[in-house]
Amino acid sequence: MSSNNVSPSAVFQQYVSYLADGRVDTGKAMKAFEDDFRKYIKAQGAIKPAITDELKTYGRLGEGKLISYTLHHLKLPPTGENVERVKTALAEMATTGIIVYNTSENGNRRGRNTGWQIAARPVQQ
């Protein structure tokens, strides 16, 4: 879930469907949730290769440009949800050491030679 403070009950309410006698049809609700979850996982999996492609093309990009270029690469609209998905993928890739964010000498995220880039791998001997 994104950080926009949506209550979990509001998120799950969209999947609830009722039987004729008023009980919840858990089978249908779980199927709808599973289908949407699979779509989300598939879309999320396409984001990381797109980020890598953009960084290979441009070398180093600021966060805003990298997000914009990635969304354009995937032909996704720049909605808040899509931006959050790209930011999540950036955080996951940074945590695993695939990409790094270079800051300036005094730690600022703005200025020359700052931005996301593919992490340099140590040479194997």
pTM given for the model: 0.65
- Domain locations in the chain as residue ranges: 24-118
CATH of 24-118 among 1.10.10.10, 3.30.530.20, 1.20.1250.20, 1.20.120.400: 1.10.10.10
Among 73, 55, 33, 34, smallest CA distance to 115 is for 55
As a whole number, mean pLDDT of residues 121-125 equals 54
Cα–Cα distance for residue pair 5/85, rounded to 1 Å? 16
Span 4-37, pLDDT tens digits = 555 667 777 888 888 899 898 889 989 988 998 8
As a whole number, mean pLDDT of residues 69-95 equals 91
Cα–Cα distance for residue pair 1/33, rounded to 1 Å? 14
H helices of the chain, in order, are 8-13, 26-58, 63-73, 80-95
